[in-house]
Amino acid sequence: MKNVVIIGAGPAGLTAAVELLKDKDEYNVTILEGSDVIGGISQTVRYNGNRMDIGGHRFFSKSEEVMNWWSSLMPVQRADAFDDKVLGREKPLEKGGPDPEKDDVVMLVRDRVSRIYYNKHFFDYPISMKPETIKNMGFATTVKAGFSYLKSCVFKKPETNLENFYINRFGKVLYSMFFEGYTEKLWGRHPSEISADWGAQRVKGLSVRAILKDMFTKVFGKKKDPKEVETSLIEQFWYPKYGPGQLWELAAQKVEENGGRILMNHSVERIVCEGKKVKAVSCRTPDGDRSFEADIFISTMPVKDLVMDMEGDEPCEKIRKIAEGLPYRDFVTVGLLVNKLNLKNQTGRKTLGDIVPDCWIYVQDKGVKLGRIQIFNNWSPYLVKDPENTVWIGLEYFCAEGDDFWNMSDEQCVAFAEGELVKMGVISSGEVLDSHRERIKKAYPAYFDTYKHFDRMISFLNKYENLFCIGRNGQHRYNNMDHSMLTAIYAARSIKNGNADKSDIWNVNTEKEYHEQKSE
């Protein structure tokens, strides 16, 4: 049997373990997880009977393989019995399907609704061409935006940065209104300082043209192929009954049932290299340092830490400088439990408690630090202890570890977040019933500073024959969950096939079309 050590028990690490253990007589798999929770940033945080999803995780992919992977762990319920019962709708469960009121292990189908808060008005996300949009923007601004977009169609800017990437797709006016401020909040840098690679991965084919095409498709009733729909334009997604962490906890159980080991609180701090191979890793644990030798190593730890922790055949000074300069954004979520929101549901969609139906509200207002508002009731009512009488929301802030916001006490941070919601008119003063704060380090790999030399880093990492870098932090790539899983699936295939070429793994989510479509 070959010994495999996987660093990290997030989506990528767990997916790799599950895939390898399909041949459990061939591989002895050990996962080293530095924290005491499963799922990484896809964990579900439990607090006083309520649950928090860190950052929001829509279970949707253009890869059938990934969709089948999820549904093999959790059956999909295509009618939400909880909502139907409360709202009095006559909508029977699918024949033979699971009942979410009786079954805990179930994936719900949820409606995707996200809007932008800008200049004290709400706009669809992505921006639509509805009369309400024109009314909120104002006729003059709408005309300017239209001519600005037409200009961008004729005079294309070189896509040397993220600002030009957005302007080429939306025009200068819409970019300034709906992308510039939020992007600067997210990354702490102006879009003109950020590589266009981020837009190519996260926005892909989204543009005014794509939005108009989607709108006309709806008007004329043409059925859309899910593989042709931009991810930002999907209307439904799957979601585990008790949040994303529930699925990854099931994946962890599957790993252990098939003979794999998951060692919690094992933080990798040394990577011992010899020649063209990784020989061992050393961990800090509650019981002292432990060392693990293996034939194969799969890493989901941040590239910066991986390279800086290498010893034996150490990286050259140039590679170390690239690693040391790789930037990240850290993340804070403040959960607030309130009686109600001051936002009226004027969408025509029925919701439990008649709250606004949004999963996320993107806050473009430059007058507040807040980036997004999650409404957990709308992701799954089972995340909320009393969804009929309370609203459980998550306020998302982007910051840097060690800055003033990160270093606030829990009480200071909650008071700050509550004050911003009151200023925005989302809640009234004194409405908060309970609160909880979560801080996540290195949540978002960033695309500036030494990232411009990352191709050299890939070449360096690839020289280690038995090292496979996967996942968001493992590849320093702002992947969605399904892309991180695909890097793990491809890595497992390469290992099983004895394939030393890792280009398929690195190429996931690097082209305009999803990489996985090429293999299906």
Per-residue pLDDT tens for 23-56? 989 999 999 999 999 999 999 999 999 999 998 9
pLDDT attached to residue 19: 98
Q: What percent of the chain has pLDDT over 90?
A: 69
pLDDT confidence tier of residue 337, bands split at 50, 70 and 90 = very high
Flag the least confident range among 69-83, 208-222, 244-258.
208-222
Q: Give me the pLDDT at residue 70, please.
A: 97
Instruction: Answer whether 6's CB lies under 8 Å from 16's CB.
Output: yes
Residue whose C-alpha is closest to residue 43's, from 57, 64, 27: 57
More confident residue, 101 or 312: 312
d(CA 149, CA 138): 16
User: How far lies 479's CA from each of 53, 73, 117, 296, 427, in Å?
Assistant: 17, 22, 25, 24, 33
Asked whether residue 74 carries a pLDDT value surpassing 90, the answer given is: yes
Sheet arrangement for strand 296-299: 261-263, 27-32, 2-7, 296-299, 467-469
- The pTM of the full predicted model, rounded to 2 decimals, is 0.89
Residues 164-183 pLDDT 10s: 999 988 899 989 988 899 89
Q: Give residue 134's identity as a one-letter amino acid code.
A: I
110 membership: H or E segment, kind and range = strand 107-111
Cβ neighbors of 273 (< 8 A, separation 6 or more) are: 279, 310, 311, 312, 313, 314, 464
Classify residue 347 by burial, with Cβ atoms within 10 Å: 0-12, 13-18, 19+: middle
More confident residue, 515 or 305: 305
DSSP assignment of 410-423 equals: HHHHHHHHHHHHHH
Q: Are strands 44-47 and 50-53 parallel, antiparallel or unpaired?
A: antiparallel
Exposed e or buried b for every residue in 65-104, given b needs 16+ CB within 10 A?
ebbebbeebbebbebbbbbeebeeeeeebeeebbebeeee
Q: What is the pLDDT of residue 136?
A: 83
Helix (H) or strand (E) segment spanning residue 52: strand 50-53
Q: Which two tokens stand for residue 100?
A: 């979410």
| pLDDT mean over 462-489 | 96
Positive or negative, the CA dihedral 518, 111, 41, 260 is: negative
What does the pLDDT read at residue 351? 86
pLDDT, mean over the chain: 88
User: Hey, what's the torsion of the CAs at 300, 301, 307, 310, to 10 degrees?
Assistant: -100
435/19 Cα distance (integer angstroms): 39
- Cα gap 83→382, rounded to integer Å: 11
What does the pLDDT look like over 105-126, one tens digit per residue? 999 989 888 888 888 788 887 6
The Cα–Cα gap between 57 and 394 comes to 13
Query: By the 8 A CB rule, do 273 and 279 touch?
Result: yes
Q: Given this model, what pLDDT does residue 80 score?
A: 55
State the pairing for strand pair 267-274/310-312. parallel
Mean pLDDT of 251-278: 97
**Whole-Å CA distances, 463 to 276, 316, 366:** 6, 13, 45
Q: What is the pLDDT of residue 126?
A: 67
Burial label for 292, CB within 10 Å (0-12, 13-18, 19+), is middle
What integer pLDDT is reported at residue 414 of this predicted model? 98
- Nearest alpha-carbon partner for 356 in 383, 372, 376: 376
The beta strands (E) that lie in 201-345 are given as: 236-240, 261-263, 267-274, 277-285, 288-293, 296-299, 310-312, 328-338
Q: Tell which residue, 55, 97, 82, has the closest CA to residue 380.
A: 82
Residue 518 has pLDDT above 50, yes or no: no
Residue 444, C-beta contacts closer than 8 angstroms, at least 6 positions apart: 186, 187, 328, 329, 330, 331, 398, 478
Tens digits of residue pLDDT in 392-410: 999 999 999 999 999 999 9
Give the dihedral sign, CA 190/192/198/203: positive
Q: Smallest Cα–Cα separation from 463: which of 341, 310, 267, 355?
A: 310
Q: How far apart are CA 506 and CA 491, in angstroms?
A: 10
**pLDDT above 90 for 224:** no
- Per-residue pLDDT of 345-387, as tens digits, reads 888 888 888 899 999 999 988 889 999 999 999 999 999 999 9
Structure tokens at 468: 């496979």
According to the model, what pLDDT value does residue 473 have?
Answer: 97
As a whole number, mean pLDDT of residues 190-207 equals 74
Local confidence band at 85 (pLDDT 50, 70, 90 cut-offs): low
The pLDDT value recorded for residue 298 is 98
pLDDT in tens, 422-450: 999 999 999 999 999 999 999 999 999 99
User: Do 377 and 392 form a contact (C-beta atoms < 8 A)?
Assistant: yes
Residue 162, C-beta contacts closer than 8 angstroms, at least 6 positions apart = 183, 191, 192, 194, 195, 196, 198, 199, 447
pLDDT bin (cut points 50, 70, 90) of residue 219 is: very low
Rank 86-95, 224-233, 287-296, 357-366 by mean pLDDT and report only the highest: 287-296
Cβ(190)–Cβ(184) below 8 Å: yes
With 0-12 / 13-18 / 19 or more C-beta atoms within 10 angstroms meaning exposed / middle / buried, residue 24 is middle
Residue 95 pLDDT level (bands cut at 50, 70, 90): low
CB contact at 8 A, 19 and 492: yes
Question: What is the percent of the chain where pLDDT is above 70?
Answer: 87
Q: Say yes or no to pLDDT of 102 above 80.
A: no
pLDDT-derived band at 314, boundaries 50, 70, 90 = confident
CA distance 125 to 233: 8
pLDDT range class, residue 511, cuts 50, 70, 90? low
Look at phi and psi of residue 153 and say left if phi exceeds 0, alpha if psi is from -120 to 50, else beta: alpha
pLDDT at 199 > cutoff 90: no
Predicted confidence (pLDDT) at residue 232 exceeds the cutoff of 50: no
